Structure 1
């Protein structure tokens, strides 16, 4: 079975999507539609902007979403039997399996980016990558810290991202190193994504998600919050609301997809990060870039 997977924030690069725009009329039309919906020419920043401009959350998230969804729209033999997305990538996956329309998903992604940015500005917070410790040990250390700090991204065995207040994450990093972590590295992010500190963003996004039509998908989506297959629109909607404050269970999602018959994981969007993670989760899994 063929599983299509969609990347999240951090996969952006200057020039992303330009080849799609120039080579496919369908892509050009979708990019121009996106410029209108967003109210600014995101294509100018994606194709010719600076890294700094592209790093702005209000640009980064829609840019990665657009690259992923438009790549899927022009791909040959695009016929997903299951889909999943890492964090932001879940919105791309929901367009790919026809649960959300392109327009509705782009509006939600834009709203999500702005709400997350506002939540980051409310309270200084951060994230850190923990390498070489078992998940249970990371969870145990986080639970013992007095400040807000939680496991946020289960990326692959031995690679977990924690998220929370600056003092909480810094204290946890010290304890992780003492417990034998190979690395405990603060990430250059503006906030504590996938933690309780995103509660205000979740509340804002919930209102928008509830007003959006979710349709029956053409195949199951394996969602971040529980790593299970979902096809029921109301369940998918509820899980998407929880996503901002809940951890991304990527390791568990990939394991479940393999258990359910996935043999080939096709990454759709900028970069090859997810292909690398899939191989670390299961060496025997086949991976490819969409073409």
Structure 2
């Protein structure tokens, strides 16, 4: 078997869907739902099997659901030996950073689940206190998107770059008016806007109250002093010192997710195979846009771990 250096990548909120746990029910990793339920107070089996899509959109519930599926996918990948090589580094998109920290050994599963629950609650409360939204600008160059939102802010509307996902895909976040104005002017920089169905202005200063609340939880979290490299959303740099995550976890809520730079950083670490673990295949699509030569696979269900069927 050709064992090549592997990076594990984990998706974030927005990849949830109704019944997302059904494929995992008969796997050994399903027991993780009981463990996560015990420490968060949420019924993860109910959440993953029966919760209607509209309720699953709720920020705190969506984050727990996605985190749990990512944890199960990682457990099954390890159990079945499906990764195809040694894990060199991990990264996660927004919420996915907590699954990445768990896989890298920086956090135990239980504490990571508690942090995800606290983070989701704090973000939901911040969004309820101050209405906001997000939109994705496609086809426009990043520097021109940054200039446009700066111009709109100077005119008095609240809008910021929230995610730099891939070439030609930048998410903006802020007030309903600020995001709408950005969409109205997108054509002037060669782009167009797709509105996102989200519950708040995430990764913007609107999340400052959530960052303050989460900081208290992170301050009492004992991260492992040394762990596998995790490329952080905030600075797109690899970190192996668990002491940095209290600071980075707080900053992440109000800072842009630098996903394009993060994928390039994984390449510089020697990762030649990127494995997406969790619901959907969103990250695989972004990675192929960032680096068309990258080998990327998505393990989004137990069937992905099954050996190929061969004729006898």
1:53 Cα offset (Å): 2.2
| 1:226 partnered with 2:263 | no
1:49 Cα offset (Å): 2.2
Question: How big is each residue's C-alpha offset from its partner over 1:82-107, in whole Å with a ceiling of 9 and x where there is no partner?
Answer: 00000000000000011011111101
1:9 Cα offset (Å): 0.6
Question: How big is each residue's C-alpha offset from its partner over 1:69-122, in whole Å with a ceiling of 9 and x where there is no partner?
Answer: 121112123542100000000000000011011111101101111111111111
Partner of 1:60: 62
C-alpha RMSD over aligned residues: 1.3
Q: In the alignment, is the contact (CA less than 8 A) between 2:88 and 2:269 conserved in 1?
A: no
| 1:72 partnered with 2:81 | no
* In structure 2, C-alpha distance between the alignment counterparts of 1:63 and 1:162, rounded to whole Å: 24
1:38 Cα offset (Å): 2.1
* In structure 2, C-alpha distance between the alignment counterparts of 1:95 and 1:21, rounded to whole Å: 22
2:109 corresponds, among 102, 115, 138, to 102
Partner of 2:173: 163
2:33 corresponds, among 26, 31, 34, to 31
Partner of 2:121: 114
SS at match of 2:254: coil
1:270 Cα offset (Å): 0.5
* In structure 1, C-alpha distance between the alignment counterparts of 2:10 and 2:238, rounded to whole Å: 16
1:217 Cα offset (Å): 4.4
* In structure 2, C-alpha distance between the alignment counterparts of 1:184 and 1:88, rounded to whole Å: 23
* In structure 2, C-alpha distance between the alignment counterparts of 1:51 and 1:85, rounded to whole Å: 23
Partner of 1:274: 283
Q: In the alignment, is the contact (CA less than 8 A) between 1:127 and 1:186 conserved in 2?
A: yes
The equivalences for 1:130-149 within 5 A come to 130-145=137-152, 146-149=156-159
Q: In the alignment, is the contact (CA less than 8 A) between 2:211 and 2:253 conserved in 1?
A: yes
Q: Hey, which bits of structure 1, 4+ residues long, moved more than 6 A?
A: none
2:190 corresponds, among 175, 180, 183, to 180
1:57 Cα offset (Å): 1.5
Q: Give the TM-score taking structure 2 as reference length.
A: 0.89
Q: In the alignment, is the contact (CA less than 8 A) between 1:38 and 1:110 conserved in 2?
A: yes
1:169 Cα offset (Å): 1.2
Gap runs ≥5 in structure 1: none
Gap runs ≥5 in structure 2: 300-304, 306-312
Q: Give the TM-score taking structure 1 as reference length.
A: 0.95
